[in-house]
Amino acid sequence: MRIVVLTKPVPDPAVGTERLGPDGRIVRSGATAVINGNDEYALEAALKLAEAHGGDVTLLAMAPESAPETLRKGLAMGAHRAVHVTDPALAGSCALSTTRVLAAALRTQAYDLILAGVDTSDGTGGVVAAGVATLLGLPYLSYAARIEPDPTAGRVRVRRLSPVGYDELEAPMPALIGCTQVLGEPRYPSLKGIMAARSKEIAALSLADLDLDEPVGGDVATSRLLASEPPAARGQTQVIREPAADAARAIVGFLESRRIV
Amino acid sequence: MAGPAAARVARTTVGDQPGATLWPVTVRPPSGLRLTEEQRLLRDAVRTLADEVVAPRAADIDRTGEFPMDVKDLLAGQDILGLPFPERHGGLGGDLLTVCLAVEQLSRACATTGLILAVQELGALPLLIAGTEEQQARWFPDLAAGRTLIAFALTEPEAGSDAAAVRTRAVRDGDAYVIDGTKRFISQGSVADLVTVFAVTDAEADRHHRLSCFVVPADSPGFRVVRVEHKMGIRGSPTAELAFDGVRVSADHRVGAEGEGFSIAMRTLDRSRPGIAAQAVGIAQGALETASAYARERRQFGRPIGEFQMIQAMLADMDAATESARQLLYTACLEIDAGAPDASRWSALCKLVAGDAAMRVTTDAVQVLGGYGYVDEYPVERMMRDAKITQLYEGTQQIQRLVVARALLAND
């Protein structure tokens, strides 16, 4: 089985140094980049599928020039190769441009499944995966909590999380699957994996390598940031000073009143 | 110092005594003190694992005093235990510095965990130094994969600092040896699958040619774990007393030549002491980080205690001690790997400096945290207890000084 994982380098949320430039775009230079957290879950799922059914895993990223550094971690986790679409004209791309570019890049690849994370921690739009499936005319199986491909029959079953439980979906392959964290914790790269990753292929593609019939890039962005404001550092605080048993009751009452428990 | 710039070793005439030479002391500092990309990648990977997986286990490992088999499996699964072993036998072929970087990062979170790797290397070093290709191929793949563990058994109840005073005997019997005796303070002795044992094969020979080295499988009849010590620190690492009652091993379990045991043991310690120095540097770094974080957050007299100069001075001195020990350790690793003639001196120096730094830094970390440092709510009291062992094992600090002084004063 050939699996492509959509992988986005994002500013490391743990470092917390990401900021917006005057043009409303994330300043990526100088910020430590990591693989988007949800994409790591998708990659873990892809690696497990490749281990169970054979085949290989390709990372696909549309990202600035420095991305190979970040993609190397995905390769260290066990992905076999990476495809890196990068072009100065892509800076400031909107979700629509990103969708078009990823779809065009996928047309150059052979695959049975495409896996994507629910959303990214920098943009948090959560629409690119569905858009890519639409442009490629692929079935889109979202919020996957379990993925069971049947390579012989050329079909895949997905258990989709829903607000009331699960939906069982089935589709022919190739298909695009939106992955959730329920699929399982991403692995740590082993030391051998880290060493092996240094010699794995990261193929670079520019816009000239892609067959695009729609305009893409920062110049034709369909959305732009108007304003941004950090949330209040801390909400109103209520300190309960009752003895433990009473305090527990008070906390449960508080949570119940907000329908949290 | 005299001599051409390119010389690694200089003999310097002392005062007006032409006969007295300083020998053999490395003169030129090694050129490559910046870590290679590979070393940085491996170090960072181990650090992530230590922070995210090992650190949350550390207090529990200390409290229960049980060998953390889950952490051993983690190190095995991530290939960390394969670092000291050659690639052709399933290892990663890491150089001494890389192994020490890993021990340092693990020990920063949990000294017991750092020791799992350090002891795996220690036990295997006699085989790395003097084992045949066949012996390495027989035992290394399982050791590198962490499927088996190995311990190093030199110390005896009456042979500690005086290692040549070993009484355990190995008597040749046809194509086998029969081993009788007792070993004490053997790290991981009760969980190891293999034990490298040093025993007397020629009681008449001079003290440096009495011993031979053997690999003893722990399932050999007559091998017994007598007891496991109750210790002040590194409580998750079982330190065992081992009894050998007529343990029979075939001659192909002997490592090196008959009578070569003491030399193998000393060459082993030359390469293993940096591992203990790395453990010490890691413990010190962990304590320094905890104390710094605490000084930023703890408020007294209306401000963070880190704003008081007495605290600032302590933290700065702790950092200076830790970083000095680290740089000496890294240099020692490069010198030892480069085959420096004074490898024993480098190895003793780095353990001496790092062990003392760890003890001082962890003691000061407890001081910075005050009463909170003395209770197990914070990790520094554990780190202080763990630090003490680095001044004791693989040669006490006094023995390290002896080794250094011998290198300085020896005449050829």
Give residue-wise pLDDT tens across range B134-171: 999 999 999 999 999 999 999 999 999 998 899 999 99
In a domain, B390, yes or no: yes
Q: Do B45 and A189 touch (CB under 8 A)?
A: yes
In a domain, B21, yes or no: no
Q: Between A190, A195, A198, which is nearest B78 by CB? A: A190
Q: Is the pLDDT of residue B14 over 60?
A: no
B295 and B390 housed in the same domain: yes
Quickly state the pLDDT bin for B411 (edges 50, 70, 90).
Answer: low
pLDDT of the residue at A231: 80
Furthest-apart CA pair in chain A: how many Å?
Answer: 69
Instruction: List CB contacts (< 8 A) between A194 and chain B.
Output: 41-42, 45
| pLDDT tens-digit map of B307-340 | 999 999 999 999 999 999 999 999 999 999 999 9
Q: Which domain holds residue B365?
A: 265-409
The residue to which tokens 């593609």 are assigned: A205
In a domain, B32, yes or no: no
Instruction: List CB contacts (< 8 A) between A190 and chain B.
Output: 77-79
Helix (H, G, I), strand (E, B) or coil at B180: strand
Q: Do B45 and A195 touch (CB under 8 A)?
A: no
pLDDT of the residue at A225: 83
Q: Give start and end residues of each alpha helix (H) in B80-203.
A: 96-109, 111-130, 133-144
pLDDT of the residue at B21: 42
Q: Do B45 and A191 touch (CB under 8 A)?
A: yes
CA angle B261, B264, B269 (to 5 degrees): 125
Nearest Cα residue to B393 out of B97, B80, B114: B114
Element (H, E) at B239: strand B239-250
B310 and B225 housed in the same domain: no
Nearest Cα residue to B351 out of B366, B368, B364, B336: B336
CA angle B95, B54, B52 (to 5 degrees): 100
Query: Contact B281/B104 with Cβ under 8 angstroms?
Result: yes
CA distance B238 to B236: 6
B279 to chain A, closest Cα gap in Å: 20
Segment B174-200 mean pLDDT: 98
Superfamily of domain A2-220: HUPs (3.40.50.620)
CA distance B157 to B181: 10
Quickly state the pLDDT bin for B32 (edges 50, 70, 90).
Answer: low
DSSP state of A207: G
B148 to chain A, closest Cα gap in Å: 19
Nearest Cα residue to A74 out of A44, A101, A48: A44
Quickly state the pLDDT bin for B9 (edges 50, 70, 90).
Answer: very low
Q: Using alpha carbons, list the distances in angstroms from residue B294 to A185, B221, B284, B304, B365.
A: 31, 53, 15, 9, 10
By CB atoms closer than 10 A (0-12, 13-18, 19+), residue B70 is: exposed
* CB burial string B175-201: b at 16+ within 10 A, e below: ebbbbbbbbbbbbbbbbbbbbbbbbbb
Beta-sheet strands, E only, within A100-139:
113-117
B138 and B257 housed in the same domain: no
Q: Is the preceding omega at residue A13 within 30 degrees of 0, hence cis? A: no
Query: Contact B120/B131 with Cβ under 8 angstroms?
Result: no
Single residue among B103, B120, B148 that ends a domain in this structure? B148
Q: Do B53 and A188 touch (CB under 8 A)?
A: yes
By CB atoms closer than 10 A (0-12, 13-18, 19+), residue A125 is: middle
Q: How many CA atoms lie within 13 A of A25 on its CB side?
A: 13
Q: Is the pLDDT of residue B412 over 90?
A: no
| Axis crossing angle, helix B55-64 with helix B69-77, rounded to the nearest 10 | 150
Segment B184-209 mean pLDDT: 97
B99 and B185 housed in the same domain: no
CA distance B376 to A117: 40
Beta pairing partners, A161: A166
Quickly state the pLDDT bin for B300 (edges 50, 70, 90).
Answer: very high
Q: Do A194 and B42 touch (CB under 8 A)?
A: yes
Q: Is the pLDDT of residue B47 over 60?
A: yes
Q: Is the pLDDT of residue B1 over 60?
A: no
Tokens representing B18 are 């032409």
B92 to chain A, closest Cα gap in Å: 7
Residues lower than pLDDT 70 in chain A:
none
pLDDT of the residue at B393: 96
pLDDT of the residue at B25: 55
Q: Between B52, B53, B80, which is nearest A191 by CB? A: B80
Q: Is the pLDDT of residue B5 over 90?
A: no
Nearest Cα residue to A101 out of A119, A113, A89: A89
Helix (H, G, I), strand (E, B) or coil at B33: coil
Identify the contact set of chain B against chain A, taking CB-CB distances under 8 A: 38, 41-42, 45-46, 48-49, 52-53, 77-80, 82-83, 92
Instruction: List CB contacts (< 8 A) between A188 and chain B.
Output: 45, 48-49, 52-53, 78
Least confident of B31-40, B66-75, B203-212, B253-262: B31-40
CATH of the domain at B79: 1.10.540.10
CATH of the domain at B170: 2.40.110.10
B42 and B82 housed in the same domain: yes
pLDDT of the residue at B375: 97
Quickly state the pLDDT bin for B192 (edges 50, 70, 90).
Answer: very high
In a domain, B171, yes or no: yes
Note the Cα A102 to chain centre separation in Å: 13
Residues of B with catalytic annotation?
394
Single residue among B148, B174, B200 that ends a domain in this structure? B148
Helix (H, G, I), strand (E, B) or coil at B216: strand
pLDDT of the residue at A14: 80
Best of B46, B49, B79 to disrupt the A interface (most A CBs within 10 Å) is: B79
pLDDT of the residue at A28: 73
B257 and B382 housed in the same domain: no
Tokens representing A161 are 């999380």
Beta pairing partners, B240: B186, B228
Q: Do A189 and B92 touch (CB under 8 A)?
A: no
Q: Between B52, B53, B79, which is nearest A191 by CB? A: B79
In a domain, B388, yes or no: yes
What is the value of pTM for the model shown? 0.82
In a domain, B291, yes or no: yes
Q: Give start and end residues of each alpha helix (H) in B244-308.
A: 261-297
In a domain, B17, yes or no: no
B190 and B309 housed in the same domain: no
Q: Is the pLDDT of residue B35 over 90?
A: no
Single residue among B212, B235, B262 that ends a domain in this structure? B262
B127 and B160 housed in the same domain: no
Quickly state the pLDDT bin for B50 (edges 50, 70, 90).
Answer: very high
Domain spans of chain A, in order of start: 2-220
* Average pLDDT of chain B to the nearest whole number: 92
Element (H, E) at B327: helix B309-337
B281 and B400 housed in the same domain: yes
Structural domains counted in chain B: 3
